[in-house]
Amino acid sequence: MRLTFRIARAASLSLVLVTACSSAPKPVTGVKMAAGAGVVGTNSGAAIAAAQRAAEQFAPADVEFMQGMIPHHAQAVIMARWAVTHGARADIKILCERIAVAQADEIRMMRRWLGERKQEMPDSLATKHVMKMDGMTHEMLMPGMLSDAQMQALDNARGAAFDRLFLLGMIGHHEGAIAMVHELFSHGDAGHDETVFRFAADVEADQSAELNKMRVMLQTVPQ
């Protein structure tokens, strides 16, 4: 009986092994890799370095956008910070705090981006864009920015008068910033830098949302 049991168990084990072998995946034949595929050759280092250099390139329009957006943001920060001292109502104060914090952070980012590329960095408090043409220096306001007279009128206002002038001014300000983004992307070689692209896209998205909010707020401010 013991001999018969051992023979039967051996036969069963053989059957299991045969079945397992027959069900195992078979090697795929007839598939050929392209020559050099998956192989790091002697020119790979040069190719990687060239790709990195290409990724680090930026267009003159990128620089102009960042340099122009710094004073644009700087003026918005000044306007927003007046809300606390000029009697703005509660919801406008909250909006102003968000604008001031976000745009101050973005100014630091833009100055860092310019510095890393050895480009001229406007001061973080500058509210005029400096242009050098034909050996002469010109100061200009970027699209949507308030003139000195408009800024003075806003600074003189209090309460509801401040709320109205602020909203009107910041609506134009945001519209100007979005126009600057569209101008940037109108250049075929601009906006490919990852930081510039993300920042410009955020400006358009965030300020478009704030525009809608401010237009609603403006309807509730007494004239």
Q: What is the pLDDT of residues 193-216, one digit of tens each?
A: 999 999 999 999 999 999 999 999
How far apart are alpha carbons 65 and 190 in whole angstroms? 10
Question: Which two structure tokens, joined as six digits, stand for 142?
Answer: 């970027």
Predicted pLDDT at 67: 97
* Token pair for 201: 């896209």
Whether residue 28 has pLDDT greater than 50: no
Residue 50 pLDDT: 58
pTM over 0.85? The answer is: no
CA–CA distance, 164 with 154 (Å, rounded to integer):
9
User: Which of these ranges, 2-11, 99-108, 144-153, has the smallest mean pLDDT?
Assistant: 2-11
Q: Please name each of the domains of the chain with its CATH number.
A: 57-218 (1.20.1260.10)
Please give the biggest Cα pair distance in the chain.
Answer: 113
Q: Is the pLDDT of residue 160 over 80?
A: yes
Predicted local distance difference test score (pLDDT) of residue 138: 77
Separation in Å, CA 74 to CA 126, 139, 172, 175 = 6, 15, 15, 16
More confident residue, 95 or 189: 95
pLDDT at 44: 67
- What are the φ/ψ torsions at residue 130 (nearest 5 degrees)? -95, 125
Mean pLDDT along residues 2-24:
43
